Each structure stands twice: as structure tokens, then as C-alpha cells.
Chains A and B, each alone.
Chain A
Amino acid sequence: MATMPLDIEEAVPEQPEQSNGERRQVLIGYKAWAAKNIIGLVFLVTTTVYLLTPLYWLFIASTKDNTDLFASNGLWFAHFNLFQNLSELFTHQDGIYGRWLLNTILYAVVGGAIGTLISVLGGYALAKYRFPGKGLIVGLVLGGALVPPTTLAIPIYLLESKYGFANTYWAVLLPAFLSPFGVFLSRIYATASVPDDLIAAARVDGASEFRIFWSVAMPILMPGMITIFLFQFVAIWNNFFLPLIVLSDPTLYPVNLGLATWNFDPASHELLYNLIVTGSFLAVLPVVLLFLFLQRYWRAGLTFGSVTG
């Protein structure tokens, strides 16, 4: 990255006294270099625009009232209505939106944190201990990571209902604690980054197995853990179908489910598109901020285990 000058003018070599032949050679080399990098640059810019446009649209849309939402250019401002949308958003139905936002934060932070801890405990154990049936467990975890979560929503609900905690906070949190994909990633991270010798040395020093995990292995695994936490956090933040099935009390809803209850209701004449769009924009911001703050770890975590030891 550091050797790629973004300003192409600067990269043109200024060597007027060269012979024609030399000059051509340099130019050909330069042209090849420039073509390669321009393609790369165009690709990066296109991808960035492609990925950011929806977010940009959402921001623009959140500044509009219901009419302008459909009637005006989607990519530019019309009457600036953002503050009115916000005040309506936080007062509609006695301000239940704020409650939904807090619920989502609770589900994602608690579910993500405990889910990460459990994943790392499991992944570390699978990476560093030998015990009978380990291969089978690894296989089951891998299998579990391949099952789409949506297909599990109804069985999970039937179980929860049987044991009496459907329609409580636990109904969303308990399934969020267990992430086969998190265990799988943790196992890879732990295998690649925690040297067996280090564990052996800690044992010689008399540390208990849990102490070794907590004080020796976990700090090494921290970038990986943050990756898993982000995965979990985003998965819970975006999960729609599970809360839809397991919750029926609107005060427990996460924000996405709550906004869905405001969506177009054919028999009703009340249109809340402006609130839904503004509410969606607001609900996206925490995820964006979290990624910005934790992206250093996220990058480190992604490349973990990608070099041969």
C-alpha cells in the first residue's frame, strides 16, 4: 500500500536527457505499472461506492418526509426533515423506539460477549487438549456452523416454549450464546497462535489449566476474540427471524423487529415510512462505529493463522 502513489502525475519520471530508447523503455514500464494500478484503483473505488451507496441513500432518505421519500431524487436532499423525523421517531407509541434500540444493544453486547467467551473456551479446548471423541465433536461443530440459523428458529422456539422462557430476554440471549462458527474460528486461532511450549512452561510453573487459559492463552487470542465478537455482534444485531418467532411482547423486541411492526399495514391508512427509514439509519450507526473502533483487531484477527508456523 505504502509504495503505491495515488497521484499519477508525481510518478512520471523526469529524465529529459535520456536517449529515446531508454525513455521508451521507462515509459513502457511506467505504462504497465500505471495500467495495473489504475485497474486496482478503479476496482477499489467502485467497490467502495457500491458498498457505501445504500448507507448514503439511507442517510438522505432519513432527512425526508413521506412524500419526498418517493417523489424526490433518492440520492439528493429535498425538504430537510431529519429533526422532525427524529422527534416523531422517539415519541411515536410513547417512545418505544428507544426501548427497542436498548434491547438490541443488550442482545448484541451480552450475547456477543458471552458467546465469544464460550466459543473461545470451546475452541481452545478443542485445539489444545486430547480427549476421546474429539474428532466427532469437531465434526459436529463444523456441521453446526453450516446449518442456516433461520431453519433452527422454530425448533428453538418449541424448546424454549416447553421450558417456559419463550417471550423473555432469555429467549433471544440463550441461542446467541452458542455459535458453532465462533468455536470453529477459535479452534483455528488457538491452534495457530498459542504455542504448546508456552502452555507446557506455564504448567511447569504450576499454573492451573484455567489460569493458563485465562492469563496465558486469552491475551494471545484477543485479536481473534474481537473478530468473533464482531461476527456474533453483527449476527445478533441483524437477526430477525428468531426474535420474530420467540418474542410476542413488543417491549422485548429488538429494533429491526419493532420497525417491522410499523411497516405498511394494508387495512390501516397510517404510513410510517419516514419513521422506519430514520429508525433504520439510526440502528445502523452503532454497528458502523463499532467496526471503526475495533477494525485494527478485526484486521489482525482475519489474518491470524494464515502464515505457516
Chain B
Amino acid sequence: MQHTPRRTIASIGSVVVVALSLFLAACGGGGSGSSSGGVVNLTFWSFNQQITEQADKFNATHPNIHVTAIKQPSGFGQYYPKVLAAIKAGDAPDVALIEYQYVPTFVSKGALVDLTPYGANDVKSQFDPGAWALESINGAFYGYPQDTGPEGLFYNAAIFKKAGITSPPKTWDEYAADAKKIHALGKNVYISAFSATNTGWYQALNWQAGANWFSTNGNSWVIDVNSAKSQQVAAFWDNLISQGLVDTNSADGDFQPGWNNALDHGTIASWISAVWGQGVIKGNAADTKGQWAVAPLPQWTAGNKDTGAWGGSGISVITGTKHPKEAAEFAQWYLTNPDSLKIGVNEIGWYPSNLQARQTALTTPDPFFAGSQSGGQIVDQVFANENLLSGWAFPPDLDAVTNFQGNDFNTAITNHLSLASQLPAIQNQIINDLTSQGISATAGS
């Protein structure tokens, strides 16, 4: 065996040579945002799978512009650090998908182009006003709304029936009463999981209650996490948590394996989620096909149809593009052209913010959701009948807010403290964080 090391050197050496020659051959090319032969080249980043099909359609009808669409990883801590690093390096795409919740963060870094000078207002009437408002900050407009995530209630009607509940809760009071009935079915049967770190979900419930955590007053941010309305929402969940009527085990939180399993085995009976949640339930709880149904979000005032949104995104033009006019043209085309919208709705699965496209999406009943009517519900229709409140805005430091809220709520649940008692601390941490970045911020209440 004395010779083996030498042989290993030789084989490593040869592998290196082969590999080097392989990738030298493969290298070269690249570069974006350039124009050659009168054609403007644009790069477009999104985390949807089918964007290349849409770009092909655009390129076929726009001989002077060529868009290269690149699908990026979507995970938290992945897509946005990448986009922000690319902006810093000057390598950013010309056009990119940015979720509504991140728009103010990007604007505070000067990363997005105001689209008002490029004819944005000409198409304003085509879009959901609630979504349009999320892209409008201080009179400027930063991206065309792509999809929206109004919240509703997905529930397993078979379990509700077993608990003696014949119709879904219309108010939060009814929801609390149903929570009790469902927990009576068994020690580990719950109406819902309550995941402390699920910040977007929880913010949308505050949005529905009419709270507005983040707003602007001139050049200053007003942080109002501790308002009476936020206290009302926190007190509601504190009540359910202290009675043990919702599952606060973090292993059963949304998207966790325990949660997937509980949905499929009927030990978690409902999920307050956005319209895109239908795909999650269908994928994860396939054994309960036909038992599910969807209802509007329970209300604080009976008879209302208010909701907030969890998720949703728009198409923005990134500062530093050499061709803002063409980039803005593509962004507008992407969300107003019927062919592009059709791919978005049918293949990607958007609940579109473009109102005309939304109408076409509201036609097919889904047999998976046949729990309340045979043949299934037209799921998107339930969400379309809700009223997405205007007035909510997202903060200019979303990642920090997510950390503060997630950590403080987690601590509260672990130590049996109330969520309500954490709100002042969360508010102060946000104000301090903004102030330390040189952004003016004051307390709302």
C-alpha cells in the first residue's frame, strides 16, 4: 500500500486537469443590461417558475427589447439578501419581483424607481386599490401589483360537524366558541395552531382590525404597535392561548412537519390563511380531500367583510438600470397583458391584483373544497368577495420587525406571559432600530 499516496496524487492531478479544461470551455459570456445592435437587453428576477414563458411572449412582440427572466430561490434570508447585494454591487436586475412587505425596506435604501413618470397612473384603474396602495409611498409609485394575499378561513368541515358546528364562524366571538367545541373532541385536537414566529399572518389580523402599525407623517415614521386595536387582537389570542384552545407547540406551527401531519390527520381543524393557502392544504393534506371548505375571515363587527393580507408581491424597476423606460414598459406589460396574466393565473397560480384577470380566475369549482357544498367551492370567489382594507403599510426595516415580534412573542408563549404585554416592547425596539439607522420614528400611542 506504499504506492497509494502517489497514485492518489496522480489521480487528483488528472481530475484537476480534466475539470479545469471542462470549465474553461464552459466559461465566458454573461453580462446584462447592455444594448447591442439597437436591442435593449433587460434582466428580470422573480421566484415564480414560469417567468421565462412570459418573457418569451414579451420578446416576440417587442423586437427592440430582449428580456432574460431568471427564477431565483424564494426562501427568507435568500432572495432579498441576494437582490440587495446585487444592487450594492451594481449588478442588479433591471426588473424584479418584490413582495409588498419589502417595498418600504427597498425604498428606504433608495433601491426602487418611481414609476409615475412612466405612465403608471394610466393603468391604475385596472388594479385592486388595496394592492395599489401598498406600492404607493409619499406620492411615488414603486411597482405594479402582481398578486394579493387576502386572508380567509380554511376549515375542515367534517371536524367542525363532528364538534356540532354546522356553519363556519362569522365573528371572532363565534370563532372562540368553536375553538372550545373543537378542543372538546380530544386533548390534542385544536381549531388552529398559533405560531408565535408567524409574523406576517398575525400582522394581517391586526390589519383587519383596523390597526396600522407603520405609517408616515411627513418624513417621519409613526410606529403604532401598541394601539387599542392591536391590544384587542392580542387579548383575543391571549384568551385562547391561556385556555389551551390553540396549539402553541412550535413543532406544530404553520408549515412545520407536525402541522402538515396534524392537518392530514384532522387534529388541526382550520387554518387562517391567505388565498394562496389553498395550494398548501391540497398538497399537504391530500387524504382529507373533499372535507375542506373556505369561509371569509371572522369579523369584529358582524356583517362586515373586512380582511387584511398575508403575502402578495409586485413588479418593480430597480435603481441603477440603464434603461428605466424599457424596464418600466416591461413591468407594466407583465401585469396588464392578457397572455402574460393568463400564464400567471393558470400556471403560476396567482390570485391576481389585476381586476380583469381576477374575473377570469373565478370560474372553476374545486372538488377538494367540497366540505360545505357538493362539487366544491370556487375558492377565489370567497376571497374576491372580501374587502381588503386600505391604510395598512409595511415598515422600512422589515427583517428587524420580524425578529422583534417573533422573539418577543416566542418568549411570551414559553414563559406564559400575555402577547398584549409584549406590544410596548416591540414598539420601542422598532423605534430604536429605525432611529439608530438615522430614520426618524415616533410612537403612535
Contact = CB atoms under 8 A, between A and B. Distances in A.
Interface of A: 66-67, 70-71, 74, 106, 109-110, 113-114, 154, 157-158, 161-162, 166-170, 173, 218-219, 222-223, 226, 229, 244-245, 248-250, 257, 260-261, 263-271, 273, 297
Nearest to A261: B73
Contacts of B85: 154, 157-158, 245
A166 B8 CA distance: 32
11 contacts: A66-B286, A158-B85, A167-B30, A169-B26, A229-B12, A260-B75, A264-B280, A265-B48, A266-B74, A266-B311, A297-B8
A173 B285 CA distance: 42
B16 interface: yes
A16 B86 CA distance: 81
Secondary structure at the A interface, as helix, strand, loop or mixed, is helix
Contacts of B12: 113, 229
A265 B74 contact: yes
A48 B20 CA distance: 38
Contacts of B313: 267
Contacts of A271: 279, 283
Given A70-B261, A263-B74, A167 B147 contact: no
Contacts of B274: 266
Interface stretch (B33-41, B87-95, B128-136, B237-245): B87-95
A246 to B, nearest CB: 9
B15 A109 contact: yes
Interface of B: 5-6, 8-9, 12-13, 15-16, 19-20, 22-23, 26-28, 30, 45, 47-49, 70-75, 78, 81-82, 85-86, 88-91, 93, 146-147, 149, 255, 257, 260-261, 264-265, 274, 276, 278-280, 282-287, 311, 313, 348-350
A226 B4 CA distance: 12
A158 B88 contact: yes
Contact of A161 (B22, B75, B89): B89
B8 A222 contact: yes
Contacts of A265: 47-49, 74
Given A71-B261, A71-B264, A110 B19 contact: yes
A157 B82 CA distance: 10
Contacts, number: 134
Contacts of A223: 5
A263 B75 contact: yes
A249 B47 CA distance: 13
Nearest to B260: A70
Contact of B89 (A162, A173, A222, A263): A162
Nearest to B6: A219
Contact of B73 (A113, A219, A257): A257
Contacts of A170: 27
Nearest to A223: B5
Nearest to B13: A113
User: Shortest 3 CB-CB distances between A and B: which pairs?
Assistant: A269-B279, A222-B5, A161-B89
Nearest to B99: A266
A199 to B, nearest CB: 19
Contact of B257 (A70, A110, A218, A248): A70
